[in-house]
Amino acid sequence: MNSALGKVVTAVMIDENDTDYFVQPDRNGQTYRLPKSESSQELHIGGQVRGFVYENEDHQLQMTCKHIPTIQVDHYDYGTVVNVRRDLGVFVDIGLPNKDIVVSLDDLPSLKHLWPQPGDRLLMSLQVDDKDRLWGKLADDQIYQTISAAPDKRLLNHDTYATVYRLKMSGTFVITDDYRLGFIHPSERDQEPRLGQRVKARVIGISSHGSLNLSLKPRAYQAIGEDAQMILTMLEHDINHRLPYTDKTDPSIIRDVFGISKGQFKRAIGHLLKEKLVKQENGQLILVKENQD
């Protein structure tokens, strides 16, 4: 097996033509094509050069000095999915000028609608098989544990962006943009996100395992309609978080103040009461304190 593939190595220039240098790593006898446009310096016979070696899309052994990927053998980083082949897997751009790396279908979800799509991203390294082919190797749970940061209680009820890295029957495992591990229970999503998808989620708790509990569902006021959201916004902006209107208020006053009918107002208030976002006392509508925070 070619032990240099997928790594940065030092090589010696042994020949050239008009467009390419030909170099050999000092650790084996393989010869690599180094396009002069990809070289960091002018080379002469016997001169040393350091670069990343791989097999390009034309199945030629090649070196590059200008497009060295951060994803290498035993080096993990995010790559962007650029193509999907149902019979093979997904192709990932790692920054090489003429080579995308395949993540095998064997490492992807059994349900193809949960496969990554172009634009999604995968945390991966490279691995070389016994036929000297480079493949993408997805990061495992241990890698995510190693790179993750501790959860922070101050994130509760805040929105965050996260990338899906594991799909299980128990739920969806993600890592946030600031490298905190998260979990989305099936009850906290309307549909299952796909592997590699970047989602916007809300922090609803912190688990005993040291990860964030997240929800993809909208907040209660977002789910119950524009009328309820308008009323909540007015409560939030009032200095005392109170409004002198309830479901007993005259319909003409409701129309003048809120621009909606008494029926619409009552439905909105009913939803807010049900979600415990507001309460009614002494002829006033009051924002519940925990929602003020």
Contact criterion met (CB below 8 Å) for 212 and 176:
yes
pLDDT < 70 positions in the chain: 27-28, 219-224, 290-293
Contact criterion met (CB below 8 Å) for 230 and 271:
no
Give the pLDDT confidence score for residue 148 in this predicted structure.
95
| CATH number given to 77-139 | 2.40.50.140
Give the pLDDT confidence score for residue 74 in this predicted structure.
96
CA-wise closest residue to 268 among 291, 293, 235, 239? 235
Give the CATH architecture of domain 221-292.
Orthogonal Bundle (1.10)
Same fold, 77-139 and 148-215: yes
Sheet holding 278-281, edge to edge: 242-243, 284-287, 278-281
73-121: pLDDT as tens digits: 999 999 999 999 999 999 999 999 999 999 999 999 999 999 999 999 9
Give the pLDDT confidence score for residue 230 in this predicted structure.
87
Helices (H), 73-140: none
Q: How far apart, in whole angstroms, are the C-alpha atoms of residue 68 and residue 30?
A: 19
Q: How far apart, in whole angstroms, are the C-alpha atoms of residue 51 and residue 152?
A: 41
Give the pLDDT confidence score for residue 152 in this predicted structure.
87
Give the pLDDT confidence score for residue 247 in this predicted structure.
87
| Bridge partners of residue 8, in order along the sequence | 52
Contact criterion met (CB below 8 Å) for 166 and 141:
yes
Give the pLDDT confidence score for residue 292 in this predicted structure.
57
Angle between helices 262-274 and 251-258 (to 10 degrees): 80
CA-wise closest residue to 51 among 71, 38, 65, 40? 65
Angle between helices 251-258 and 226-237 (to 10 degrees): 80
Give the pLDDT confidence score for residue 208 in this predicted structure.
81
Annotated domain spans of the chain: 8-64, 77-139, 148-215, 221-292
Compute, in degrees rounded to 10, the torsion defined by CA atoms 43, 46, 48, 53.
Answer: 90
Give the pLDDT confidence score for residue 20 in this predicted structure.
96
Give the pLDDT confidence score for residue 253 in this predicted structure.
93
pTM of the predicted model, to two decimals? Answer: 0.75
Q: How far apart, in whole angstroms, are the C-alpha atoms of residue 172 and residue 194?
A: 9
Fold observed for domain 148-215:
OB fold (Dihydrolipoamide Acetyltransferase, E2P) (2.40.50)
Contact criterion met (CB below 8 Å) for 138 and 97:
no
Q: How far apart, in whole angstroms, are the C-alpha atoms of residue 93 and residue 152?
A: 33
Residue where the block lists tokens 């688990």? 207
Helix (H) or strand (E) holding 42: none
Contact criterion met (CB below 8 Å) for 181 and 211:
yes
Contact criterion met (CB below 8 Å) for 232 and 223:
no
Choosing among 3.30.365.10, 1.20.1260.10, 2.40.50.330, 3.30.360.10, the CATH entry for 8-64 is 2.40.50.330
159-174: pLDDT as tens digits: 999 999 999 999 999 9
The three-point CA angle 182-186-188 to 5° equals 70
